[in-house]
């Protein structure tokens, strides 16, 4: 492999150019690695603040029907689907809440506490009282903190609930929750029987919420439920804007970062052009000694590839070190979807992909100057004085 | 016939030109014997170097044939030409054209490495060759640390290291002082005798030419005289 021997010697002989080339690519790759860590962290954070807190799959009544009948049987069947870890039947209806002189229209949700917690981890959101009391105390309700404030209610207060065609009820406040979303102002949670009594129905629900062991499984689960005859949609269908946001952020990030690396690689290509011009006589002499054109080309492509590889490795290490050093970027305020900080997430696979990308880019970039070198005619290259 | 003649040139013509046509070689016929030590002389522009480049397969003729060891090199593929240059030909130019980033030993090793010889073996052979040209104590020096004459000796070691059947020298002493020229010439002559290789030298130096076996005199791309010296 004399080609490699010559390529490495060329690089070590023009030490300063080599160092700057590696530095240029390295710093560009540092940026790429660092911003990839931000992007992965942002994606993780976005998922944990949104998808991880919502039902992965939502099941609705059959077409033309207002309710899901025989929901207990359906719930059991859904529980048996591979990968399902939580199933919660929910009945929802409109209600007007009145406390003292204040009125507020809300959505009343009847739930089974344990089931709902298995899908939405509601117990984590409780700030006062408990969801469990819904099942102990008849005609009780848990309200969001914003709703409680609007109505001016506290634990142990009793709210009058009414609605046209509904059975009016007096509901005792047994808990206050805060999910950090605008829903805290509009949703009131009761037990399933309480809500069914209020809405004057029995043995029916309006939706079934499902959680899978992996959010990416939502599509497969919803397809199986569809096959049971109930329309089901995964989170990607019910909240397309989440994926949209990630895609837009991700794409623009990749493009701008890849451009920087490409520009840095151009630096290597131009250095290589200079080297080819400088070494014209040498190339001619190598040809006279019997080095075939392919090998001349290989020497210069190798030089470019080696610079790219070293720059990429250096950049990935520096970028990863910076990202790990910073740990988390704190915004101080909410920027979107409940995100207040972005953790830097360094993944081995990103490092490998970035190194490969940069290496290949430089190999390809080296082809042009290298082919110029290989096209030299030995007589003209050696020249004569 | 190809046993006696290592090089047979027939009707070799080389025309350069963009618009104005220049006949650098005009129907040259020449046979060179194995082991000959021969000089090509002639005024500037007479076609000496062009002829040498043709024999060294560094360039292609416009017409005519060149047989090296009975094989027509004008019909060879690019790859075959590279292999032939590596195995059968050694080059010494007026300027040594050593690779500046490599030391004397590495420069002398290069043709061996190119032909696929293992690095350790190449090192051995190249080191013997450098001793033979009198540079055994300068092997780790780079070209910029050696004198003109020393560099030319490295170039000679490099040209001979692969044991080529033909050694081509284009003004090999043209860039050296008289004393160095003299010793380089003696070295080439010694190597010619010991290794029985064919040496073809282009030179301006009539005194040096007079010491060769035969002088080919080129004028305007034709052979004007072909005379044997009585040494």
Please answer yes or no on whether A287 and B85 come within 8 Å at the CB atom. yes
Q: Where are the beta strands (DSSP E) in A100-168?
A: 102-111, 126-129, 140-144, 158-162
Please state the pTM of the whole predicted model: 0.76
Q: Chain B residues with CB-CB distance to A under 8 A?
A: 49, 53, 56, 58-59, 78-79, 82-87, 91, 93-95, 97-102, 110-111, 113-115, 158, 170
Please answer yes or no on whether A378 and B114 come within 8 Å at the CB atom. no
Cβ atoms of residues A169 and A188 within 8 Å: no
CATH number of the domain to which B88 belongs: 3.40.50.300
Query: Of B111, B7, B202, which is closest to residue A287 (Cα–Cα)?
Result: B111
Please answer yes or no on whether B113 and A291 come within 8 Å at the CB atom. no
Residue B168 belongs to a domain: yes
Residue B9 belongs to a domain: no
Residue B117 belongs to a domain: yes
CB atoms within 10 A of CB A119: 22
Joined together, the tokens standing for residue A122 give 């509601």
Sign of CA dihedral A125, A128, A132, A135: negative
Residue B139 belongs to a domain: yes
Task: Report yes or no: A10 at the B interface, CB cutoff 8 Å.
Answer: yes
Query: For residue range B50-83, what is the model confidence (pLDDT) as tens digits?
Result: 999 999 999 889 999 999 988 999 999 989 999 9
Q: In angstroms, what separates the C-alpha of B97 from chain A's closest C-alpha?
A: 7
In degrees, to the nearest 5, what angle opens at C-alpha A366 toward C-alphas A363 and A370?
A: 130
Measured distance CA(B107)–CA(B154) in Å, rounded:
8
Query: For residue range A169-181, what is the model confidence (pLDDT) as tens digits?
Result: 999 999 999 887 7
**B chain contacts of residue A6, beta-carbon cutoff 8 Å:** 99
pLDDT of res. A384: 42
Measured distance CA(B168)–CA(B179) in Å, rounded:
22
Q: Mutation test of the interface with chain B: which of A290, A295, A297, A375, choosing the one with the most B Cβ atoms within 10 A?
A: A290
pLDDT of res. A1: 85
- Paired sense of beta strands A84-99 and A207-212, if any: antiparallel
Q: In angstroms, what separates the C-alpha of A289 from chain B's closest C-alpha?
A: 5
Helix axes A280-288, A240-278, angle to 10 degrees: 80
Per the prediction, chain A carries an average pLDDT of 88
Joined together, the tokens standing for residue B120 give 């350790």
Residue B42 belongs to a domain: yes
Query: For residue range A168-221, what is the model confidence (pLDDT) as tens digits?
Result: 999 999 999 988 778 889 999 999 999 999 999 988 999 999 998 888 888 889
Q: Which of B87, B97, B110 sits opposite A382 (nearest CB)?
A: B97
Query: For residue range B131-167, what is the model confidence (pLDDT) as tens digits?
Result: 988 888 999 999 999 998 899 999 999 999 998 999 9
Task: Report yes or no: A307 at the B interface, CB cutoff 8 Å.
Answer: no
Residue B88 belongs to a domain: yes
Q: What are phi and psi of A231, to 5 degrees?
A: -65, 125
- Paired sense of beta strands A158-162 and A68-69, if any: unpaired
Please answer yes or no on whether B95 and A5 come within 8 Å at the CB atom. no
Count structural domains, chain B.
1
Confidence band, pLDDT 50/70/90 cuts, at residue B230: low
Name, in order, each residue with C-beta under 8 angstroms of A33's C-beta and a sequence gap of 6 or more: A315, A316, A318, A319, A320, A323, A346, A350, A351, A354
Q: Which domain holds residue B121?
A: 35-46+75-228
ipTM of the prediction: 0.90
Measured distance CA(B9)–CA(B49) in Å, rounded:
15
Name, in order, each residue with C-beta under 8 angstroms of B147's C-beta and a sequence gap of 6 or more: none
Q: Mutation test of the interface with chain B: which of A288, A295, A374, A377, choosing the one with the most B Cβ atoms within 10 A?
A: A288
Confidence band, pLDDT 50/70/90 cuts, at residue B177: confident
Domain boundary assignment for chain A: 2-50+242-382, 54-235
pLDDT of res. B195: 84
């Amino acid at each position: 492999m004399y080609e490699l021997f010559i390529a490495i010697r060329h690089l070590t002989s023009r030490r300063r150019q080599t160092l700057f080339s590696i530095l240029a690519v390295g710093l560009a790759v540092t940026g790429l690695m660092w911003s990839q860590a931000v992007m992965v962290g942002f994606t993780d954070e976005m998922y944990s603040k949104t998808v991880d807190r919502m039902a992965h799959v939502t099941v609705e009544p059959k077409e033309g029907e207002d309710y899901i009948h025989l929901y207990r049987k359906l719930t059991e069947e859904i529980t048996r689907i591979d990968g399902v870890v939580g199933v919660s039947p929910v009945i929802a209806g409109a209600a007007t809440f009145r406390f003292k002189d204040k009125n507020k229209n809300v959505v009343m949700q009847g739930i089974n506490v344990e089931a709902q917690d298995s899908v939405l981890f509601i117990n984590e959101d409780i700030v006062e009282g408990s969801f469990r009391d819904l099942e102990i105390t008849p005609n009780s309700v848990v309200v969001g903190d914003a709703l409680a404030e609007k109505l001016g209610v506290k634990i142990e207060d009793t709210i009058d609930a009414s609605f046209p065609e509904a059975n009016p009820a007096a509901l005792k406040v047994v808990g206050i929750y805060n999910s950090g979303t605008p829903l805290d102002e509009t949703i009131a949670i009761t037990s399933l029987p309480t809500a069914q009594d209020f809405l004057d129905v029995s043995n029916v629900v309006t939706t079934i919420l499902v959680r899978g062991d992996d959010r990416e499984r939502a599509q497969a689960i919803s397809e199986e439920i569809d096959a049971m005859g109930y329309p089901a949609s995964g989170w990607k269908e019910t909240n397309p804007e989440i994926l949209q946001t990630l895609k837009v952020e991700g794409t623009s990030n990749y493009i701008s970062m890849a451009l920087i690396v490409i520009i840095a690689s151009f630096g290597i290509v131009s250095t290589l052009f200079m080297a080819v011009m400088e070494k014209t006589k040498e190339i001619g002499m190598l040809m006279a000694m019997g080095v075939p054109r392919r090998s001349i080309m290989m020497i210069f492509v190798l030089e470019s590839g080696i610079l790219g590889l070293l720059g990429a490795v250096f950049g990935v290490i520096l970028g990863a070190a910076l990202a790990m050093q910073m740990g988390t970027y704190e915004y101080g305020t909410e920027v979107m979807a409940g995100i207040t900080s972005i953790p830097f997430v360094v993944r081995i696979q990103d490092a490998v992909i970035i190194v490969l990308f940069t290496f290949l880019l430089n190999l390809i970039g080296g082809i042009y100057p290298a082919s110029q070198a290989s096209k030299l005619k030995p007589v003209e290259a050696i020249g004569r004085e | 016939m190809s046993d006696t003649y290592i090089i047979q040139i027939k009707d070799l013509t080389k025309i350069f030109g963009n618009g104005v046509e220049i006949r650098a070689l005009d129907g040259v016929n020449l046979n060179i014997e194995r082991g000959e030590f021969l000089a090509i002389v002639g005024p500037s522009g007479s076609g000496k170097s062009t002829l040498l480049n043709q024999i060294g397969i560094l360039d292609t003729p416009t017409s005519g044939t060149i047989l090296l060891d009975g094989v027509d090199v004008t019909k060879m593929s690019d790859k075959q030409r590279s292999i032939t240059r590596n195995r059968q030909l050694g080059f010494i130019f007026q300027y040594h054209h050593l690779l500046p980033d490599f030391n004397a030993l590495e420069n002398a090793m290069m043709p061996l490495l190119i032909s696929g010889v293992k690095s350790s073996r190449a090192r051995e052979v190249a080191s013997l060759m450098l001793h033979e040209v009198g540079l055994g104590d300068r092997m780790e020096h780079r070209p910029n640390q050696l004198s003109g004459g020393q560099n030319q000796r490295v170039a000679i070691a490099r040209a001979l290291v692969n044991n080529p059947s033909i050694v081509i020298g284009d003004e090999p002493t043209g860039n050296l002082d008289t004393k160095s020229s003299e010793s380089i010439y003696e070295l080439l002559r010694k190597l010619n005798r010991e290794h029985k290789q064919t040496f073809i030298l282009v030179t301006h130096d009539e005194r040096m030419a007079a010491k060769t076996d035969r002088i080919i005199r080129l004028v305007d791309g034709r052979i004007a005289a072909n005379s044997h010296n009585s040494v």
